[in-house]
Amino acid sequence: MSKPDQSNVQDVVVVGGGPSGRIAAIGLAQRGLSVALVAPVAGGQDGRTTALWQQSISFLKRIGVWDDLAQSTAPLAKMRMVDDTGGLIRAPEVVFDSSDLELEEFGFNILNDRLNAVLEEKCSTEATLTVFPEQAISVETAPGNILVETASGSRIRARLAIAADGRKSMLRDAAGIDVKTWAYPQVAVVLNIEHRFPHNSISTEFHTPTGPFTLVPLPGNMSSIVCVESEDGAERLCVMKAPELEMELERRAHSILGSFKLASDVKSFPLSGMSASRLAGDRIALIGEAAHVFPPIGAQGLNLSLRDIIDLTSVVEAACRRNVDPGDRSILEHYETKRRRDITTRTNAVDILNRSLLTPFLPVQAARGLGMYVVDKVAPLKRFLMREGMSPASGFRRPG
């Protein structure tokens, strides 16, 4: 693997301490590149969970972190979608079953706190990865490299900077990349619960007039809940006493898992969307929420970010093997080309589905109901959508 002439210049600097930044740093370091990771240590408990699909899990296995995660995950063998809108035209219930693809499960659900802890530990063991556990405060491009300065005054030069610093990305702003943003009249209320009956590895998503109400399995008789509500509705839920909230959530779940008991704090997040106009600038590549943000529907968020990382890692490694500067414009344009269609397609699909739940317009309700009916009755289409949901451009291929 080629190295820069100056001994104090890294191949890559990754800015961002979330899962995307740490996974990118580990993946690149394991390919022989010198990597600096500027990543503040996470403060406090997250409480949320992440569903990881098979392609993401394969990459986590490749970088050697899955074995440490597996025992803390719950398999997702079936995904059930239920029309609970109460509209005049209701879609039929649809169940996506991983066995229809000859898989034991679509993926696994894991607590973010556990995922972050394992990734943080793995970063500390990579020989060619240097971690700066602090905030990046400035970035400046120069001929042949880019300079990132940290809060403590450390100055890190690299040939390529990866922006994994979230939706308010400093690196994206420094690159002059515009973003399109939009807001939804919705708030996601998230928490974890214990329940009386087993979930049997089934994730259930109720489509309600305010958005999805989703139960996602966790280990044991536990599940995570994402309840998308109006602003007023979310506020009412967040101020409820525990017994009252447990009963309300059980009612919304139609008691399919029996009685509920809170197993975490209740948190809420306004829903919004964001799409960067470009995925790369001068020696800067965007991944994760620095590039795209959309509502927590269909568990696409981190899985889309991991596909950013998989493609960027491949492009950068190939460039270094050819002794090409990984921050060269042609390399970053190649990354942009590989990622744009996937990001655009996923963003639009999630946006359309979410907005279709909010409209009272009868033709839209009819179209959504008809679409769900066709998906449920046409087996080849159903299998196609299941494969596409896990991995783009795989709809007509058999898994594995």
CA–CA distance, 377 with 382 (Å, rounded to integer): 8
pLDDT at 314 over 90: yes
Q: How far is CA 129 from the centre of its chain?
A: 24
pLDDT at 383 over 90: no
In a domain, 80, yes or no: no
pLDDT at 369 over 80: no
In a domain, 58, yes or no: no
**What does the pLDDT look like over 129-162, one tens digit per residue?**
999 999 999 999 988 999 999 999 999 999 999 9
What pLDDT is recorded for position 6? 45
Range of the domain at 153: 9-51+112-180+273-361
In the chain, the largest separation of any two C-alpha atoms, in whole Å, equals 69
In a domain, 308, yes or no: yes
What pLDDT is recorded for position 211? 86
Nearest C-alpha neighbor of 2 from the set 333, 327, 332: 327
In a domain, 371, yes or no: no
**Is 279 in contact with 291 (CB distance < 8 Å)?**
yes
In a domain, 310, yes or no: yes
Of the candidate ranges 95-104, 184-193, 343-352, 354-363, the one whose mean pLDDT is the lowest: 354-363
User: What is the domain-level CATH number for residue 335?
Assistant: 3.50.50.60
Confidence class of residue 3 from pLDDT cuts 50, 70 and 90? Answer: very low
Residue 88 burial by Cβ neighbours in a 10 Å radius (0-12, 13-18, 19+): exposed
Q: At CA 398, angle to CA 392 and CA 400, rounded to 5? A: 85
pLDDT at 200 over 50: yes
Sign of CA dihedral 309, 312, 317, 320: negative
In a domain, 157, yes or no: yes
- Angstrom distances, CA of residue 187 to CA of 210, 231, 237: 9, 6, 11
Q: How many domains does the chain have?
A: 1
Q: Average pLDDT for residues 154-183, to the nearest whole number?
A: 96
CA–CA distance, 309 with 92 (Å, rounded to integer): 37
What pLDDT is recorded for position 366? 56
What pLDDT is recorded for position 80? 92
- Its pTM stands at 0.88
Q: Average pLDDT for residues 14-29, to the nearest whole number?
A: 96
What pLDDT is recorded for position 227? 95
Return all residues near 227 (Cβ < 8 A) that are at least 6 apart: 188, 189, 190, 213, 214, 234, 237, 249, 252
**What does the pLDDT look like over 208-242, one tens digit per residue?**
888 889 999 999 999 999 999 999 999 999 999 99
Is the model more confident about 4 or about 202? 202
In a domain, 158, yes or no: yes
In a domain, 165, yes or no: yes
Q: Which residue has the tokens 């491949």?
A: 314
